[in-house]
Structure 1
């Protein structure tokens, strides 16, 4: 086996696509593919399966990945890289749709300015990729994971409130107490496809009834509320961003937390550490915005 082929293998495992791995290593994709096939031939096993979205590790690939990472860490320790050197490579980050759209993406340019050699794959969706299964390098979750080879810490607390458009409130019955919610149309999640139990906001609000307008997307709920469709529970960093929305029933505040999760084997990679350090500092600076 040619040991120089292992960085190709590691890059494909992390990026999930041969082309992205080649780009991260600044080599030609054809060359990367040829060297990966050479590595598979020397080991006598297939390391990846080709799927519609790229390359997926086989069981043999998973076994090699464990050893290759150990070798990479040992090599890094022997090199004693210069402190403060440039960060290169790609980091994949899985976040909730709202946090990714309304908070993280708004500030990502500052990270790119600080680390021109760092590429970020921001996966902001209704659902999360799993650090345990190495689907992502970093995840920001709504609950602390209970198991897995993970390093977890609280990133930030955040607040949620009830919001409605000013036009809606001007043309609707009074909304002065929780009991008044019975006279208003509510906006919320689709109950049977919630991807996290922490999203059951309306269960915690006295007087709240089943929402008439429902969506799996917090962005769609925000739009419905903005256009005057009804009353919605929104994170404060989303609801307070729109001058068209007003807080209603200000005494009702829900609290949730974001948890920052990395895999124990990759948490010391330079690109992972750079993103974690940046996001932690960002959340601390914007604590008031997040908590509402």
Structure 2
């Protein structure tokens, strides 16, 4: 039996659609469908039922899934032994929010890459998260603890958000001294119907009257808009405190605390390269607590 066909079978069983499985294995959906048909022909059975919502395992498919996962675990054990004997190798796909990816990780990953040249790193920094329980990512840095799945989750760190404005904007329009004053300023924030996690709905947490007039699904774009003088807005302190020309306003009136959660599939937790990355990441976060908690701040 071709292990590569089994790998594709596992991807489809976990993802539920040809398109999602194709993204996981780096092939097109037509190729995935053809490989599944070849596997079904070799086993003389039907593995998936095809419906409007995607592909669902048949009874035969469920039986094969148990064997395929055992094969996967064996292959992973062999790979781990090889890594431990010859230095770390393989790849790590890390999913995280755009803010953490661009504002924190991107400037630090070179250190891990230099220490472990045999490990390829995929940094998936975007709105939404890839799901470790479906093997879309090896590690996810999430805004909330996942509610279920074969996952190990632990708090990585707290972080804080504050209100920011450009120094030139404040010089031209006057200081913002109260939250009441903030309600009369033009605000920059998220597009309400594109907010992908409830933890990002923090304007109403400050004051329910706060509504952004300039909106973006990208926190990086929001930070640049604020720095350009488009208005005031709320940013993670590890972004706002590092942007030239931005100053923090209304401290301590606006001091929002959120958390990042480190999530990994339980079958991957003891893989050597994953363990090494988690140790490295925790060390980076420990060293950066002042920045993450907004203690390095220029105020007005």
TM-score (norm 1): 0.79
Deviations 1:214-248 (A, max 9, x none): 11111111111010000010001100111210000
- How many pairs were matched up? 274
8 Å Cα contact 2:189/2:234 also seen in 1: yes
Mark the CA change 1:199 to 1:43 in structure 2 (over 3 Å): closer, same or farther. same
Aligned pair 1:254/2:285, yes or no?
Answer: no
Mark the CA change 1:234 to 1:213 in structure 2 (over 3 Å): closer, same or farther. same
8 Å Cα contact 1:47/1:57 also seen in 2: no
Aligned residue for 1:232?
A: 233
Mark the CA change 1:205 to 1:63 in structure 2 (over 3 Å): closer, same or farther. farther
Distance in structure 2 (CA, Å) of the matches to 1:228 and 1:267: 45
Aligned residue for 1:285?
A: 287
8 Å Cα contact 1:165/1:245 also seen in 2: yes
Distance in structure 1 (CA, Å) of the matches to 2:219 and 2:160: 15
Cα displacement (A) at 1:10: 3.9
SS of residue matched to 2:131 = coil
Distance in structure 2 (CA, Å) of the matches to 1:99 and 1:198: 14
TM-score (norm 2): 0.77
Aligned residue for 1:94?
A: 95
SS of residue matched to 1:81 = helix
8 Å Cα contact 2:151/2:266 also seen in 1: yes
- RMSD (Å) for aligned C-alpha atoms: 3.4
Mark the CA change 1:167 to 1:81 in structure 2 (over 3 Å): closer, same or farther. same
Q: Unpaired runs of 5+ in structure 2?
A: 12-19, 28-34, 49-53, 295-300
8 Å Cα contact 1:12/1:18 also seen in 2: no
8 Å Cα contact 1:160/1:255 also seen in 2: yes
Cα displacement (A) at 1:276: 2.1
Aligned residue for 2:161?
A: 160
Cα displacement (A) at 1:134: 2.1
Mark the CA change 1:47 to 1:166 in structure 2 (over 3 Å): closer, same or farther. farther
Distance in structure 2 (CA, Å) of the matches to 1:186 and 1:19: 39
Distance in structure 2 (CA, Å) of the matches to 1:227 and 1:236: 18
8 Å Cα contact 1:142/1:198 also seen in 2: yes
Aligned residue for 1:212?
A: 213
Q: Unpaired runs of 5+ in structure 1?
A: 23-34, 49-55
Mark the CA change 1:77 to 1:194 in structure 2 (over 3 Å): closer, same or farther. closer
Distance in structure 1 (CA, Å) of the matches to 2:258 and 2:156: 11
Distance in structure 2 (CA, Å) of the matches to 1:116 and 1:269: 17
Cα displacement (A) at 1:169: 0.5
